[in-house]
């Protein structure tokens, strides 16, 4: 199924690139937000249910307690953005990087120790994120400066990209030397990175992020979550997942619409939008990591 999703991702990416030649900047922005707020939010909307599923002590944790823990974590991160925005932004980037890397590579065989594997997940995700930021530097600088409330050096994004690239290349070289399975798939993964570079270069920040986030991350994640929660991926299990996720998805949409109503200035809204994503990323990435560990453990037990 992973290969099928990769094929869908490639086709969808080039269709979106083709569409960008015919869309106005405003329509591209709206469509990008639509994709993020639909499939993007949906893939994290079932975190409360997933928390209950992966917990070893689910019989001892009432629903309201689980909900309270999750909401408390989200609120704590939002407050961190207010008190220590640089720390919060760094935490968001690292968590997102690991989450992107784990989702992309978890079904691929990487024959190395857990420490190297985890560093590689972070390195891969950081490379994707820094590539997106560098190729949309003008938009990014405005949003980041709005979040941290101070100017950044003009070379900040390029320095980040070069530093991340050095680490990522070093980790990749190590795996190329030590892991035959990694070596066998390296050419295809390089092609994927070139596809991402084209997408990020040609598209606006939101449109490029939406293409990657939906077709290369959210849809594969939805598949993994559905199969974990319902032991299969077909029409009935997808509908069951959507039914469970719908109330939380609607709450998220209402909250974001409220933010937009209160802060209609585009730059401020973009900053708040990414702060919201950051607030839900940490608990979501921890849950998905635990889910993959549970899946691996169940396979080993069998």
Show me where the domains of the chain are located. Answer: 2-301
Arithmetic mean of pLDDT, 178-192: 92
Give residue 234's region: left, alpha or beta (phi > 0; psi -120 to 50).
Answer: beta
What is the overall mean pLDDT for the chain?
85
pLDDT in tens, 15-59: 998 998 888 888 998 899 899 888 888 888 888 778 777 765 455
CB 75 within 8 A of CB 254: no
Q: Dmax over Cα atoms in the chain, in whole Å? A: 55
Beta carbons of 44 and 284 less than 8 angstroms apart:
yes
Residues in the chain: 302
**253-267: buried (b, 16+ CB within 10 Å) or exposed (e) per residue?**
eeebeebeeeeeeee
Tell me the per-residue pLDDT of 238-285, one tens digit each, with 9 for 90 and over.
999 999 889 888 888 887 777 677 666 555 666 677 777 777 888 888
Number of H helices, E strands in the chain: 15, 0
pLDDT at 279: 77
Q: Could you tell me if 45 and 248 are in contact, meaning their C-beta atoms sit under 8 angstroms apart?
A: yes
- pLDDT for 265 equals 59
Q: Which region holds residue 232: left if phi is over 0, alpha if psi is between -120 and 50, else beta? A: left
| Pair of tokens at residue 99 | 């989450």
CB of 68 closer than 8 Å to CB of 88: no
Return the structure tokens found at 9: 């991702």
Per-residue pLDDT tens digits for 117-141: 999 999 999 999 999 999 999 888 8
Cα 205 to Cα 61: distance, rounded to the nearest angstrom: 40
């Amino acid at each position: 199924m992973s290969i099928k999703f990769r094929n869908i991702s490639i086709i969808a990416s080039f269709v979106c690139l083709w569409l960008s030649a015919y869309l106005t900047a405003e329509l591209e922005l709206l469509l990008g937000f639509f994709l993020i707020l639909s499939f993007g939010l949906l893939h994290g909307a079932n975190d409360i249910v997933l928390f209950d599923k992966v917990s070893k002590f689910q019989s001892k944790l009432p629903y309201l307690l689980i909900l309270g823990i999750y909401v408390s974590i989200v609120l704590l991160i939002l407050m961190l953005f207010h008190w220590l925005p640089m720390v919060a932004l760094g935490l968001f980037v690292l968590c997102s990087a690991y989450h992107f890397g784990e989702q992309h590579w978890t079904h691929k065989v990487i024959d190395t120790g857990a420490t190297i594997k985890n560093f590689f997940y972070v390195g891969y995700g950081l490379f994707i994120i820094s590539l997106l930021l560098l190729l949309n530097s003008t938009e990014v600088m405005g949003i980041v400066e709005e979040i941290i409330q101070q100017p950044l050096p003009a070379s900040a994004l390029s320095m980040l990209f070069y530093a991340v690239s050095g680490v990522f290349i070093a980790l990749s070289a190590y795996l190329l030397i030590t892991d035959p399975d990694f070596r066998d798939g390296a050419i295809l993964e390089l092609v994927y990175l070139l596809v991402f570079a084209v997408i990020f270069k040609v598209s606006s920040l939101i449109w490029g992020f939406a293409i990657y986030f939906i077709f290369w991350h959210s849809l594969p994640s939805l598949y993994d979550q559905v199969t974990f929660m319902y032991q299969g991926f077909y029409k009935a299990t997808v509908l069951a997942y959507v039914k469970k996720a719908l109330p939380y998805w609607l709450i998220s949409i209402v909250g974001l619409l409220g933010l937009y109503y209160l802060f209609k200035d585009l730059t401020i809204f973009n900053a708040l939008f990414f702060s919201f994503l950051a607030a839900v990323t940490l608990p979501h990435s921890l849950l998905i990591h635990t889910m993959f560990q549970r899946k691996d453990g169940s396979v080993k037990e069998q």
